Amino acid sequence: MRRLRAWLARLGGLFHRKRRDRELAAEMKSHLQMHIEDNLRAGMSAEQARRQALIKLGGVEQTKENYRDRRGLPFLETLLQDFRFAARMLLKNPGFTAVAVLTLALGIGANTAIFSIVNGVLLQPLPYPSP
């Protein structure tokens, strides 16, 4: 049950991406600010407090990337990116798109015709009692 819930959460990570990124940025900013305030109370200068807070967090952008990797389904995200790219390229080159679609249509049609003939002649028994 736990794994199913984890997969559903990761699948949900594909939707509302901008909102989740904004929430993550706000949370990282608040954590950074808390660490800076702790360092200022410890007697550090403002510049040094910020630097130490960034070191303690291990890099804000790196942490965001790690979270994004864990949040979604990388395989599915890559597949969707590839489909979007393919659609853009097909729309960009309508001549190539027409030739590709025509070639696929002829190939599928020929395959269907040949299978129908082979099925009717070779695979199905003849409609006689003793052929």
CB 96, CB 90: distance < 8 Å: yes
Q: How many residues does the chain have?
A: 131
C-alpha to C-alpha distance for 3 and 48, rounded to whole angstroms: 43
C-alpha to C-alpha distance for 84 and 80, rounded to whole angstroms: 6
83: its two tokens: 């489909």
pLDDT digits (tens, 9 = 90+) for 5-54: 777 776 666 667 778 878 888 888 888 888 888 888 888 888 888 888 88
Overall pTM surpassing 0.85 (yes/no): no
Q: In angstroms, what is the C-alpha Rg of the chain?
A: 29
pLDDT of residue 131: 62
Dihedral, CA of residue 44, residue 50, residue 55 and residue 57, to nearest 10: 120
Q: Which residues, other chains included, contact 57 with Cβ-Cβ below 8 Å and sequence gap of 6+?
A: 28, 31, 32, 35, 63
Burial class of residue 53, CB neighbours in 10 A (0-12, 13-18, 19+): buried
